[in-house]
Amino acid sequence: MSAGTRVLIVDDEPEFCSVVRKFLKGETYELYSVDCGQDALHLFGEAPAFDVVLLDLNLPDMNGFKLMGYLAEHFPDTLVVIITGYASLESATEALRCGAYDYLTKPFAREELLKTLRNAMTHKQVKDAHRQSLLALNDSEMCFRNLVENILSGVLIVRNQELLYQNTVQKDLFGPITETVIACEYKHIHPDDIEKLKGIVNQFLSGEISSVETDFRFYISANLEGQSEQRWVLSRACCISYRGEAAILINTTDISRLKELERLVVIERPADRRSMSR
C-alpha cells in the first residue's frame, strides 16, 4: 500500500476499531475512524476523499447501505469494503449489488484484511489508469476532430460498413447518400464507373490491397441520371486502427471543377491548332 492511502473505519465498536488499528500498525496508511454514519459524512465533507472505507452495515444512526449509496453517488472513486458480524449470503450479495468492492465477516485475520486492502488499492489504481487513458483518448479524439473539421477534404471512418465518423465537408459532398455508399450500393454511381469501382472495393475488402485511390462519378440524389447533379470525386481509402480496432479511413475530394476544366481544354485544343496554322 502506497504512502498517503487514506482509510476510514466506520464502526460503533471501539474494540473492533482498536483491533483494526493494531492490524494496520506499521503499514503506510492514513487511518481514521468514526462510530456513526453522520460523522463519516462530515469527514467526507471537510477532508480529501478517502481511498477505502471499512463500513459496518449496522450503524447506530443509519443503515450502512444508505451510507454506501451516498458514497457511490458523490465519491465514486472511494472503494467500500463491508464489515459485518452477521454473515449471510443475502447481505453479501446485496452489498456487492449496491457497489461494495468486497465483503469481510467479523472476526477476520490480519492477513485477510491486508490482502483485501491491497487488492482494493490495486483495483483503484487500475481504474484510475483506465480513466486517464480514456481522458487521453478523448483529448486525442477532440484534436483529431478539430483538425479534420478544418480541412478541405471529406473524411469518413468506417468499420464493418458502419459509419463511425464523418466531417462536415463529407456530409456536404455526399449528402443523404452517404449510407448507401458505405453499404457498397451502386445505384448513385455513374454507369461507366460501376464495374471499376466494384472491382476496387472487392479487392480492398478481401484484403488483397490495403490502400487504394480512384476517381469516380456519382449522382447526389436518387433521381434519374438526367435529373440529378453529377459530381466527380477523388477517393483514397486505407486500413487504420481506430480506438484499438481495425477500421477504414476514407478521404474524398470534390474534383468536379477540375474535370470540367479538363473537358473544356480538350474541346478548345482543335480550334487553337487551326488558328496557329493560319
Q: How many CB atoms lie within 10 A of CB 15?
A: 8
Name which of 75, 85, 80, 77 is nearest 13 in CA terms: 85
With a cut of 60, say whether residue 238 has pLDDT above it: yes
With a cut of 90, say whether residue 2 has pLDDT above it: no
Are residues 106 and 16 in contact, defined by beta-carbon separation less than 8 angstroms? yes
Strands (E), 13-117: 29-34, 52-56, 79-84, 102-105
Give per-residue pLDDT as tens, 89-114.
677 677 777 788 888 888 888 999 99
pTM exceeds cut of 0.95:
no
Q: What's residue 53's pLDDT?
A: 93
Sign of the CA dihedral 96, 101, 107, 109?
positive
Give the percent of the chain with pLDDT over 90: 15
Strands (E), 58-194: 79-84, 102-105, 154-159, 162-166
With a cut of 90, say whether residue 195 has pLDDT above it: yes
Q: What's residue 170's pLDDT?
A: 87
Tell me which DSSP letter residue 250 carries. E
Query: What's the grid cell of residue 151?
Result: 480541412
110-136 per-residue burial string, b: 16 or more CB within 10 A, e: under 16: eeebeebbeebbeebeeeeeeeeeeee
Domains of the chain in sequence order? 5-140 (3.40.50.2300), 149-277 (3.30.450.20)
How much is the CA Rg of the chain, to the nearest whole Å? 33
- The rounded distance, in Å, linking the Cα atoms of 138 and 135 is 5
Q: Which residue has the cell 486517464?
A: 132
- Is the model more confident about 149 or about 172? 172
Query: What's the grid cell of residue 183?
Result: 453499404
In the sheet with 102-105, reading across from the earlier edge strand, the strands are 29-34, 5-10, 52-56, 79-84, 102-105
With a cut of 80, say whether residue 4 has pLDDT above it: no
Name which of 47, 25, 55, 56 is nearest 120 in CA terms: 55
Query: What's the grid cell of residue 142?
Result: 477532440
